[in-house]
Amino acid sequence: MSAADFAFLIAETDLFLDWSVPVALVVGGGLSFMAVWAVTRHTRRVAHEQAAELLEVARREAAVAAEEMKQKAEAEIQEKRAELNREFDRREIESDVRLREIRAHEESLALLDYQLEQRQERLNRENSAVKQARDAIRALSKSVRKRLEGVSQLDADEIRKQLREEVLLECQDEIRALRRATLEKSEQELQNDARRILVASMQRISSKPNNDLTATIIQLPNEEMKGRIIGREGRNIKSFESATGVTLLIDESPQMVLVSSFDPVRREVARVALDALVKDGRIHPASIEEGVKRAKEEIDLVTTQAGEDAVAKLNINGLHPEIIKLLGRLKYRFSYNQNVLDHSIETAFLASLIASEVGLDPNVAKRAGLLHDVGKGVPGELEGSHAMIGAEFIKRYGETPIVVNAVAAHHEEVRPETVYAGLVILADTISAVRPGARAESMTSYIQRLGRLEKLALSLEGVQQAFAIQAGREIRVVVSPCEVTDDRAREIAKELRKRIEAELQYPSTIKITVIRESRFTETAT
């Protein structure tokens, strides 16, 4: 190869190198850009797919959560609606019962007014007749005395003696009738005074009816709390029942536990202890024992305060602290839906009012009335009636024999030795049987009305019988063709005797027998 050719080859090589380097750089940059663009596009597509999946999952979870919240809200709304309906029905029944009682009182007052007017008219007529008879006797006595003095030579003593014998013979029948009328009038006045005293005492005392429960419902914050209350293998619930002496009923009812016991004090201790344990959240045998101990101390303070409040309300002095403490335990006891402590306070007020009306010591009557049911607060381990147990208890702490006998005799298990025992019996009966004091179940109420109507329908000649005024009155319709007026009166008396002998009922039952004939014609 010549030098010229070599030089030309060198020149071509340099020229090629000058062009190949930029082209390689451009091609390499393009390939890198394409690779980066492809990777970016793939990453973006994967990100979009993942975002879509996450969005779909979130949408499904939100729909499920919304559905659950909707169902929960609907359940709460249904529960609130049912609770409101129950409360409305209860209040409607209470208002209906109170309206009936008011109507019954109005009818009774109207009847009493009419009877008082009739009695006043009869008394006025009797007074006029007595006055006329007295004037006639005086005129006859004067004429007889003048006639005897004119025709006789007897002295004044003999004349007076003969005149007295003659007047007695002539007026014997009138004197007997006057004596009988006077006795009847005196007895009627005594009955009217007794009714006035009792009505005045009852009207000055008013209290609301109470509800009697043998179980207490405790609300829980969540369903998980039931498992914690039960504990592993039931050790927590066993420890709680052993410490409190109650029974815990845990069923499928949502977020609630039932505390059951016939001893209301134990039930209240269990309620306070379980509320504290649920709020604290730590439930195990050691905390249960500590919580029950604190609850017992708290209930002891509450019962003592309740007893002191009752004593202060009645302004009674000198009661032993143990009697006051036992009296406070009556706050948690009920008798036929009537709170025993409220009943004792009401009985004390009634006994005091009646004692004031009849001229006795109201403080002694008030003390005996307050303590008459104190035996119901004594624990059930002691045997015997609450009247005898209460009498022995207050006797042990220095109460007077009058109060002790009144407490022991208020159910007539022992003979009343003083008039204060009779006052306590009367006040206890008034507080128990007054309208609204004690409630009875709807089933027994309906059965009592049915037995009352059935008893009336069993009499011969009775067509229809209607128990009204909550069973305090029955109206009997008899056949006018089969039953005369005299027989209708006998039916009323016979029905009264059978009701008193065969039925058990509060207060009194008024019996009205209706006999009437109706004749209808239509003119065309």
User: Is the pLDDT confidence value at 207 over 50?
Assistant: no
pLDDT, residue 504, reads: 75
pTM of the complete model: 0.47
CATH class of 338-433: mainly alpha
pLDDT, residue 66, reads: 87
Q: Which of 157, 101, 28 is nearest to 436 (CA)?
A: 101
CATH no. of 215-314: 3.30.1370.10
**What percent of the chain stands above pLDDT 70?**
77
**What percent of the chain stands above pLDDT 90?**
1
pLDDT, residue 211, reads: 41
pLDDT digits over 56-114, tens only? Answer: 888 888 888 888 888 888 888 988 888 888 888 888 888 888 888 888 888 888 888 88
- Mean of the per-residue pLDDT values for the chain? 79
Calculate mean pLDDT across residues 305-318.
86
Fold agreement (215-314, 445-514): no
pLDDT digits over 444-494, tens only? Answer: 667 878 888 888 899 888 988 988 876 778 899 998 888 888 888 889 889
User: Is the pLDDT confidence value at 20 over 80?
Assistant: no
Most confident among 77-91, 103-117, 180-194, 268-282 (mean pLDDT): 77-91
pLDDT, residue 316, reads: 87
Question: Exposed, middle or buried, 383 (CB in 10 Å: 0-12/13-18/19+)?
Answer: exposed
**Cα angle 514-520-522, degrees, rounded to a multiple of 5:** 165
pLDDT digits over 366-381, tens only? Answer: 898 888 888 888 775 5
CATH fourth-level superfamily of 445-514: ANL, C-terminal domain (3.30.300.30)
More confident residue, 469 or 152: 469
Distance CA 289, CA 296 (A): 11
User: Is the pLDDT confidence value at 156 over 50?
Assistant: yes
Distance CA 292, CA 269 (A): 7
Other beta carbons less than 10 A from residue 104's beta carbon = 17
Show me where the domains of the chain are located. Answer: 215-314, 338-433, 445-514
DSSP 8-class letter at 462: E
